Amino acid sequence: MAAIRTAVENDVPRCAELLRILFSQEYEFTPDVELQSRGLSMIIHNPELGCIFVAEVDGVIQGMVMLLFTVSTFLGKKVALLEDMVVAPAWRSKGLGALLINHAVDFALREGFGRITLLTDSDNNPAQQFYRMQGFSQSQMVVFRKLLD
């Protein structure tokens, strides 16, 4: 069905297109291809920051997910933030998202990470159900942000 692999620089335009779809669905974000392309390239060229996995079907990227890396002093281990999980609309509910998540979790386990954390919109019930089906549980933590622009 699909091949999951690590993204390379040539994948940036398609990944930015998928992010446009994702960010168009979210309340807090507005798509900006230039900014998204810059961020994707930053991760691809600095693997110590994280990794981006893409799902290809017949040579076309139809989904992506990224893991960004940090350290938990509580766990005394590396941990990851799962970001930008998106599957092209025509490929949703066909198992592609589960393949991406499983690949990311397997990577984190192999690399000795102690936790994966993710955020989703509070009213995005389909995404919350999907993540629960993948073994994630809802935290009681509350997200705060301060933009530094």
- Band (pLDDT 50/70/90 cuts) for residue 28 is confident
The answer to the question of residue 34 being in a domain is: yes
User: CA–CA separation, 127 vs 135, rounded Å?
Assistant: 13
Write down the pLDDT at residue 24: 86
Domain count along the chain: 1
- pTM, to two decimals: 0.94
The answer to the question of residue 39 being in a domain is: yes
Coil, strand or helix: which one is 112? Answer: coil
Owning domain of residue 122: 3-133
Tokens of 144: 């705060």
The answer to the question of residue 49 being in a domain is: yes
Write down the pLDDT at residue 42: 98
The answer to the question of residue 28 being in a domain is: yes
* pLDDT tens-digit readout, 43-102: 999 999 999 999 999 999 999 999 999 999 999 999 999 999 999 999 999 999 999 999
> Which domain CATH number covers 107?
3.40.630.30
Tokens of 72: 């938990």
The answer to the question of residue 47 being in a domain is: yes
The answer to the question of residue 140 being in a domain is: no
Residue with tokens 């091949």: 3
The answer to the question of residue 142 being in a domain is: no
